[in-house]
Amino acid sequence: MHVDQHFSVVVLTGLSGAGKSTALRVFEDMGFFCVDGLPAAMIPKLASLYRGQSDARFKGLALGMDIRQHDFLKDWEMALAELAGERIGVQVLFFEADQSELLRRYHETRRPHPMECEDLGLEQALEEERRLLEPLRASASLVVDTTQYSIHDLRRTLQEKWSFLRQGQAGLRTHIISFGFKHAAPKEADLMFDLRFLPNPHFEPSLKPLTGKEPDVAAYVLENPIGREFLERFLGFMGYLVPLYAVEGRYRLTIAIGCTGGRHRSVAVAERLFAYLKEKGYAVTLEHRHIDRV
């Protein structure tokens, strides 16, 4: 069935306190018509109405949904089926964060969690919400972990990743993250590789201030017997593996590549993997999560 490629519906959902409302404001700034707290059952009606009357003022619809709606998951499944019947594609962005970070945010804002009640305290409410939303997380187009994000980090990340999501309404989308183990490993990763066995430019005075994007650093990491053999085997393995995930019908694949600080080795290899998958025609994006960390 042909899906309307020129009409964008973005659903923002996820754990309460993980940044959905902030993200919705980012989409508003990017030129989307935004509605928060919309019941899932109303999404197809609004989408059809908007598509019939849309003009150049808006790039599409960005809709915020959360667990407070009655029969949320049941209504969501029905809404998806109805949208498919109307040939309207939907991108789902799921926001999450570590339990400790969500607790900290709620204690700072002093706002109640939507599932808190006499039988559920804040911590239990967060755990129950995470459990209930797991099916939606599994089918999301993109999972964004905001544990370490400031508001500005989240804005920059969404602006970068939205261009990636717009590459296609269907098929596997591969997201590559370089990171440093001393900062934190990405919780959203499906595959994770530890590159701390490769030569480390950190101990070379002329290379230490640079990053893995620089040719001299990449050459130091990869233009040696260990680096060359690793890169050949690694790219060959990913060339074999990624198509298998695509055949399985996965919505997304997140590959995390880590070294100690996330500035040199992981960045150099992530850049090579990005170029390799891009050349093969995959919808792929790249995020250097800790490249600016000291």
Q: According to the annotation, is 17 in a ligand binding site?
A: yes
Dist. CA 94–CA 12, nearest whole Å: 6
Q: According to the annotation, is 16 in a ligand binding site?
A: yes
CB-based contact 60:9 (threshold 8 Å):
yes
Q: According to the annotation, is 19 in a ligand binding site?
A: yes
CB-based contact 263:276 (threshold 8 Å):
no
Q: According to the annotation, is 218 in a ligand binding site?
A: no
The two tokens of residue 288 are 């250097």
- Contacts by 153-157, CB closer than 8 A, 24 or more apart: 154/19, 154/22, 154/23, 154/26, 155/22, 155/26, 157/287
Residues 6+ apart with CB under 8 A from 283: 164, 167, 168, 171, 172, 173, 174
> What backbone phi and psi angles, to 5 degrees, belong to 14?
135, -160
Q: Is 78 exposed, middle or buried (0-12, 13-18, 19+ CB in 10 A)?
A: middle
Torsion of Cα atoms, 119 then 122 then 123 then 128, to 10°: 60
Q: According to the annotation, is 67 in a ligand binding site?
A: yes
Q: How far is CA 154 from CA 18, 20, 22, 79, 188, in A?
A: 10, 10, 8, 28, 15
Q: According to the annotation, is 69 in a ligand binding site?
A: yes
Dist. CA 19–CA 94, nearest whole Å: 10
Q: According to the annotation, is 56 in a ligand binding site?
A: no
Q: According to the annotation, is 18 in a ligand binding site?
A: yes
Q: According to the annotation, is 68 in a ligand binding site?
A: yes
Q: According to the annotation, is 171 in a ligand binding site?
A: no
Binding site: what residues are annotated?
14-21, 66-69
Binding site for ATP: what residues are annotated?
14-21
Binding site for GTP: what residues are annotated?
66-69
